[in-house]
Amino acid sequence: MRDAVGFLRAEYDELVRADLDWKLRVLAGPSAPWCDIDGKRVLMFCSNNYLGLSNHPKVKAAAVAAVQSHGAGSGSVRPIAGTMDLHVELERRLARFKQAEASLVYQTGFATNAGLIPQLAGDGDLIVSDELNHGSIIDGVRLSKADKAVYKHGDAADLARVLDQAEAHAPAYRRLLVITDGVFSMDGDIAPLDKIAKLGRDHGAMVYVDDAHGEGVLGDGGRGIVSHFGLSRDEVQVEMGTFSKAFGVVGGHISGSRDLVNFAYNKSRTWLLSGSHPPAVAAACLAAVDVLEHEPEHVERLWSHTRRFKKAMAALGFDLGRSETPITPVIVGESRSAKALSQRLYELGVFALPIVFPMVAKDKARIRTIMNAALSEDDVQFAIAAFEKAGRELKLI
């Protein structure tokens, strides 16, 4: 008789043998600067919680209050009985913050890309994607029936080449959709969105930017990459983001025109068929938007820490790649070197995980650090000292 599920253990065992399986670390308590990870007190240096808002008192208080006023769950999907006043207010406030006509909140960032991208382009269309785009974009593109093309990472000239070829396609494409991450999560570099937007305008293409790692970090008061480049909504038609990073909670969202939002919530099956956010989540997201609007010191401190860390690490001789943001990869080469450095840092009291092949090229293994505004200056110095000690012990610097 055929073994229908034997492949599950076989494939997992192969991942273990190749040392490619995820070994989960357990956090006991909040995502704070100093955490209990697997029973050891360590400095958190790889969280996406850029501004420390997941543990901000206003954000926590809003979540607690919403449970008391609205209950533990929403009771349904958004289009049936799951749209609460908290969801509507969150979308109104987010649109104001993003300086957009309208916003729509999805259950997660992944659900946003997987649900919307296939609806924006289909048969007779072309999607053009940066070669290093996030996996959620890749999956969203795969779900579409459109033709697909890839341009070299961050290379506007290569994007122009692809779009020129698309213009000559016969029969003519009905729609062109260009998609890019705003900030690339492995290297911390920023997409040339100003150049991409111009190419989109010149070729009549819709531009879609995934700003998951840019909002709360780039732009006026953390408003994101569209603000960072001073672009209009006519130039970047879809600005996608997530509440799970700088906002410190969870959820995905898009901002743009009212037509975009009306289209998206009628077409995205991930939005239509998934339960809506519990009241506590919606209220916490609302509070996080409010904090960003009224407490600019968090974004300022994030960048102050980032500049200090990058300067010190470069002076020590570490390779920081092409990072332009608080995502700072410490590139060490081979996978075993990155794993050894991560383990030694943990022993010294700093939690920062290795990123190795196949997530990055075999000779580009690194420790991916992410700065946090909630750290103190002493915390940043502690991390620098730990990297110096571990780097010298392992002969990496």
Confidence of residue 285 (pLDDT cuts 50, 70, 90): very high
Active-site residue flag, 213: yes
Question: Residue 277 domain-assigned?
Answer: yes
Residues 33 and 162 in one domain: no
Residue type, 373: A
Whether 69 is catalytic is: no
Q: Are residues 113 and 101 in the same domain?
A: yes
Of the candidates 276, 294, 312, which is a domain's last residue? 294
How many CB atoms neighbour CB 373 within 10 A?
Answer: 24
The predicted pLDDT at position 21 comes to 84
Q: How many domains does the chain have?
A: 2
DSSP string, 222-256: G--HHHHTT--TTT--EEEEESSSTTSS--EEEEE
Range of the domain at 30: 19-48+296-393
Can you list the pairs that 257-266 forms with residues at least 24 positions away whose Cβ atoms lie under 8 Å? Answer: 257/100, 257/101, 257/102, 257/233, 258/101, 258/102, 260/102, 261/101, 261/102, 261/103, 261/104, 263/119, 264/104, 264/116, 264/119, 265/78, 265/79, 265/104
The first and second tokens of residue 282, run together, are 């919606």
Please write the tens of the pLDDT for every residue from 99-143. Answer: 999 999 999 999 999 999 999 999 999 999 999 999 999 999 999
pLDDT band, very low/low/confident/very high, at 2 (cuts 50, 70, 90)? confident
**Catalytic residue chosen out of the listed positions 185, 227, 337, 342:** 185
For the cut 90, the answer to whether the pLDDT of residue 88 exceeds it is yes
Q: What is the mean pLDDT of residues 314-339?
A: 96
Q: Pick the catalytic residue from 213, 277, 305, 364.
A: 213
Q: What proportions of the chain, in percent to the nearest 5, are helix, strand and coil?
A: 45, 15, 40
Indicate whether 1 pLDDT > 80. no
Is residue 177 located within the same domain as residue 226?
Answer: yes
- Higher-confidence residue of 379 and 356: namely 379
Q: Find the CATH number of the domain harbouring 126.
A: 3.40.640.10
70 part of the active site: no
Q: Is 305 found in the same domain as 278?
A: no
Q: From the candidates 245, 277, 298, 310, give the one annotated as an active-site residue.
A: 245
Specify if 6 maps to a domain.
no
DSSP state of 221: G
Window from 60-64, 197-201, 361-365 with minimum mean pLDDT: 361-365
